[in-house]
Structure 1
Amino acid sequence: MTVSPATASAPLARTPLDRRVEPDLRVALCAAICVGLALLWWVRGGWIFPLDDAYITLHNARVLIEGHDPNYGVPALVGASSLIHLSLVTAFSLVLPGEAAAYLVAGIGPVLFLAGLLTLAQRLSLPWPEGIALALAGLASGTGQFLNGLETGLVMAAVTWTLVLALDRPSRLLALICGLLPFLRPELGLLSLILMTRQTWSRLAAGSDRAAALRAVAADAALALAAASPWLLWNLAATGALLPRTMAAKQAFFGHPPGSLPASVVYAAAMTAGGIGPAAAALLFLGRDGPGPALLWFVSLFILGFALTNREVLAHNGYRYTFALLPIALFAVMRLGAARGPSVLRLLILAQWAVALAVAVAAPTEIAAQQERVAQYRAVAHWAQANLPQARLLIHDAGVIATASDLPLTDLVGLKSPDSIADHRRWTAPSNGAERFRALDAIARRSGVTHAIILDDAPDHFWASLADDLRRGGWSLDPIETGSARGPYILYRLAPPTDPAAK
């Protein structure tokens, strides 16, 4: 492949050999990922998702198909962060078992992500060895995210292909994608707004035909709105809000740690760098041409937004929220390498690979431990279904229990039981968790729960402290032997305070 200096925004002319080899390499690598995912499913005899949140999606898909929710009694979209991801899982669940459908959807993410990175490398005229090495480093960096059953892999793929489109002249396709992005992850609505603003400016500044430019801008806006409208109306009809409220529920439950705004911004930036690795350093060099300034605005506002609302969530579930920025960071590495030469590019690739290999080596053990925890939770849920048919359960992990039983459930966090959010806004959030026990007491009293399933997450002891909060509110908790191997999820029999007014 031709190797020569290139600007970040103008790809080099290519030889026939370049045009022949690059597509072949992209197809071969993406096909290898598909084969690997199929072999993993076959060798493991299926797949247990390591995060409870994945089973919230499976539960929501089942509710969409069956038309009612036996567990929470709310619409399927309550607790759904990604309407597009949920729709895909639901569609495949019509012809496949739930976990197989979710695994198939999850597998789309890494394939499209790798294809997008290779396309970006080609578009920016990177030498093909470096381009492939960086793309594979990006893929390895996301090892813990692609098969967690959530939308993270699709987010990474969508952002990557949005960058490919942003390198081109203004296009209707980019407007269409921008209309869809907020319904893949709500935070991506900010990226859509910024890129649409950039495209509007580009159209207006492109020529002297003002009327034609305005017509093109209006067409972009109409197309983006047409893409967004079905999802907006669906969510509004189901939940009463235009966008998912899952982040609002987490913000109320976890609260906002005290500290100044500068300290929160530094913390959020550190969590972002910790999540995506050394490539994050290249975000400072996105450049002053092409989509660089717009992307830098998005990265800055992304970090500021989490700093203002819920900075701690950036570290949850293997830093999964930060991975929306990984494609942008890798794009920045490519632009920096194209502008500064192969030595800088290779140094950044080696640094990213060093971290990615550490992640990839640790991932199997960590995922296996999380899968074992999910399997134990499922066993407890099955026992409760068989032995406590009249129970009403208070829970905090809302997914596995809802796929393994039809018992009535109350989600004390608020993702699937929205009434809980008001209690946390009243007591938990203002006190930064100090008065969470008051919120739990109110939730438990109102819902009439008889039992609870709480995770013993030693040594962190965050989730286990919920049992202490209930006791502090006057509730009695009696552990029940479920007959399964002792695991982190503990089933308790609840007894309310003897004094109804006790707090």
Structure 2
Amino acid sequence: MNAIPRSDLIGPGVCIAVTLAVFAIVYALAGGAVFPSDDAFINLHNANVLRLGHDDNYAGVPALVGATSGVHLTLLMAFEQIIHPDTLALFVLGAVTGVVYVLGVFGVCINAGCSRRDATLIALASLVLAGTLFQLLNGMDTGLAMAAVAWTIKLVTDKRRSLWLPILCGIMPFIRPELSFLAAGAMLILLSARDRALGFKLTAAALSIASAAPFLVWYWIDTGSFIPNTVGAKMYFFAERHADLSTKALFVSGALAQAVVASFPLFLCFRFARLRALELMLALFAIVFVASFFWRLPGGLAHNGGRYLYVFAPIVLFGVAGALASNHRKQALRIVAISALFVPLGFGAQFNIYKTHILGYRQSLADVVSWMNANLPERPMVMVHDAGYVAYAGHTALVDLVGLKTPAATAIHAALTYPSVGRQRPEAVASIAAKFDAKYLLAIEDWNQRFGLAEGLREQGWAVEEVYAGRAPADTPKVDIYRLFRLTPPDASRTADQAHLIETQRSR
């Protein structure tokens, strides 16, 4: 085997060193392993459930219920075996994922015909484009999905096809379900290649099935489904599928407009691309991806800082690399130069989201959970919509009103909220509260206002009394404050009111 020339290692080495340095700097500035999203703590909680073998908060619920990415959860469990505490393990997993992503982009650029210098610069720029860095820092599966897309493009464009591609295609649906479309396209390209022998294709197909099989079995055992249930739960709660077309178009166009601004004008480099099978596959993947959200969950494209759209970042950079390596290099360089005016917009927007969440509502949530631990020793049932941190750090029994961690809630939304396009959401939430005998509701003010959680319960006859508001820095917007409400069901509420009236009359 020929040794790799030392000069060929410089680019990847720089990519690894810079990426790890960036994560180390963020770790130091943030004061440790912190995460801006509650979903990161769903991952940590699920890992705890796997380790303990049972869930103390969501009684009887397996770990994979509410887990979108079985691959990410598996990696987190592996990292937790050697890195402590678990929050640091999750942060290190994010750093390693960042390295894998950047190296994938580097490989994509080399395969596109870029010089090693250009490939290194583009790979490092991948951390900056549209604020990608903050998606790698969110403690979720976003970075892993981006890395999977980058390496899919790299492996498909390799001159010598390897069996790593079918293995990756097999596990991609369990990194993010939407990547199933990309995996299918990549396997189609591989299996239709004329320069590959039949034996290679049969082996590739077998490896793809074999890599998927453990996750298929795991999900079936834990959830009764071969695929993650999280999008389905969100679809029923947000109830946007049956919204009118103009509303759905507004949701999707708004999210896409932000993505276009954040990546403008780099995506224009694709006009220099040759219409080969890969470009066609990536275009079809983008169309099917957006169409699936338009059909089921159009507002979801804007969730968590638009994180679902970040799987397109390596595709945009693939177009840039191809343009720079083509006869249109001068035009591509002009586009890259112009992008310097727009890249700060996307980066700045993601930085502000990250900073606001770290310093604002995250502190409010942590404070409420701390208060609950100290003041609710009887472990009452608490109804939540952010199902992660309160389960990870709290000690009370929980019911997830969205349904991610509580499948019975999903069924109620499927029967009421979903077909009514959200109009019967208050009845659904009240039904969930009654079914699980919820004593408290923990909600961020933003959700409380948007979905009328407390007011909707009051309309259904429940007594809803705020008992605590999480403390946060003074400049934290009110919509980012978590509030804890005491709940009294309709019959008990009427009984209490009658007793109060009788006592008042007696005192007179």
Shorter-chain TM-score tier: 0.7 to 0.9
Of 367, 380, 385, which residue of structure 1 is paired with 2:373? 385
Structure 1 residues not aligned, in runs of 5+: 1-17
Q: Does 1:492 pair with 2:481?
A: no
The residue that corresponds to 2:81 in the other structure is 94
User: After the TM superposition, which residues 280-429 of structure 1 pair with which residues of structure 2 at under 5 Å, given as runs?
Assistant: 280-282=267-269, 287-372=274-359, 373-390=361-378, 391-429=380-418
By how many angstroms is 1:328 displaced? 1.3
By how many angstroms is 1:259 displaced? 5.8
AA at the equivalent of 2:354:
I
User: After the TM superposition, which residues 15-414 of structure 1 pair with which residues of structure 2 at under 5 Å, given as runs?
Assistant: 21-73=7-59, 74-95=61-82, 96-128=84-116, 130-141=118-129, 142-168=132-158, 169-202=160-193, 205-206=194-195, 212-213=197-198, 215-256=199-240, 264=248, 268=252, 271-272=255-256, 274-275=258-259, 277-278=263-264, 279-282=266-269, 287-372=274-359, 373-390=361-378, 391-414=380-403
Q: Bigger shift: 131-140 or 292-301?
A: 131-140
Report the secondary structure of 2:490's partner residue: coil
AA at the equivalent of 1:104:
V
Rate the CA distance shift 1:260–1:376 in 2: closer, same or farther, 3 A. closer
Contact 1:334 1:345 in 2 (8 A): no
By how many angstroms is 1:135 displaced? 2.9
Q: Bigger shift: 64-73 or 357-366?
A: 357-366
Instruction: Measure, in 2, the Cα distance between the counterparts of 1:66 and 1:23.
Output: 43
Instruction: Measure, in 1, the Cα distance between the counterparts of 2:481 and 2:244.
Output: 36
The residue that corresponds to 2:497 in the other structure is none
Instruction: Measure, in 2, the Cα distance between the counterparts of 1:59 and 1:426.
Output: 29
Contact 1:130 1:346 in 2 (8 A): no
By how many angstroms is 1:375 displaced? 2.1
Rate the CA distance shift 1:323–1:364 in 2: closer, same or farther, 3 A. closer
Q: Bigger shift: 491-500 or 61-70?
A: 491-500
Q: Does 1:441 pair with 2:433?
A: no
**What do you get for the CA RMSD once the two structures are aligned?**
2.6
Instruction: Measure, in 1, the Cα distance between the counterparts of 2:335 and 2:79.
Output: 39
Contact 2:72 2:141 in 1 (8 A): yes
| Length-normalised TM-score, structure 1 | 0.88
The residue that corresponds to 1:14 in the other structure is none
Instruction: Measure, in 2, the Cα distance between the counterparts of 1:319 and 1:39.
Output: 25
Rate the CA distance shift 1:447–1:252 in 2: closer, same or farther, 3 A. same
| Length-normalised TM-score, structure 2 | 0.87
Instruction: Measure, in 2, the Cα distance between the counterparts of 1:131 and 1:331.
Output: 10
By how many angstroms is 1:334 displaced? 2.1
By how many angstroms is 1:429 displaced? 1.5
AA at the equivalent of 1:162:
T
The residue that corresponds to 1:13 in the other structure is none
Contact 2:471 2:481 in 1 (8 A): no
Rate the CA distance shift 1:453–1:286 in 2: closer, same or farther, 3 A. farther
Q: Bigger shift: 417-426 or 275-284?
A: 275-284
Contact 1:118 1:131 in 2 (8 A): yes
Report the secondary structure of 1:454's partner residue: strand
Deviations 1:95-153, CA, capped at 9 Å, x for gaps: 31121011011112222222222222222222455444433332112022110110111
Contact 2:369 2:390 in 1 (8 A): yes
Contact 1:452 1:494 in 2 (8 A): yes
Instruction: Measure, in 1, the Cα distance between the counterparts of 2:418 and 2:69.
Output: 25
AA at the equivalent of 1:226:
A
By how many angstroms is 1:300 displaced? 1.3
The residue that corresponds to 2:499 in the other structure is none
Report the secondary structure of 1:479's partner residue: strand
By how many angstroms is 1:389 displaced? 2.0
Instruction: Measure, in 2, the Cα distance between the counterparts of 1:218 and 1:19.
Output: 34
AA at the equivalent of 2:31:
G
Q: Bigger shift: 350-359 or 133-142?
A: 350-359
Contact 2:270 2:323 in 1 (8 A): no
Report the secondary structure of 1:354's partner residue: coil
The residue that corresponds to 1:5 in the other structure is none
Contact 1:287 1:293 in 2 (8 A): no
The residue that corresponds to 2:443 in the other structure is 454
Structure 2 residues not aligned, in runs of 5+: 475-479, 495-508
Report the secondary structure of 1:187's partner residue: helix
Contact 1:424 1:436 in 2 (8 A): yes
AA at the equivalent of 1:85:
H
AA at the equivalent of 2:77:
T
Instruction: Measure, in 2, the Cα distance between the counterparts of 1:132 and 1:392.
Output: 53
Deviations 1:129-181, CA, capped at 9 Å, x for gaps: 54444333321120221101101111111211111100024432111111111
By how many angstroms is 1:323 displaced? 0.7
Instruction: Measure, in 1, the Cα distance between the counterparts of 2:415 and 2:44.
Output: 31
Instruction: Measure, in 2, the Cα distance between the counterparts of 1:283 and 1:309.
Output: 28
Q: Bigger shift: 477-486 or 139-148?
A: 477-486
Rate the CA distance shift 1:353–1:85 in 2: closer, same or farther, 3 A. farther
Contact 1:138 1:330 in 2 (8 A): yes
Contact 1:476 1:497 in 2 (8 A): yes
Runs of at least 4 residues off by over 6 Å: none
Contact 1:108 1:154 in 2 (8 A): no
Contact 1:134 1:349 in 2 (8 A): no
Contact 1:54 1:148 in 2 (8 A): yes
Identity %: 32
Instruction: Measure, in 1, the Cα distance between the counterparts of 2:105 and 2:44.
Output: 29
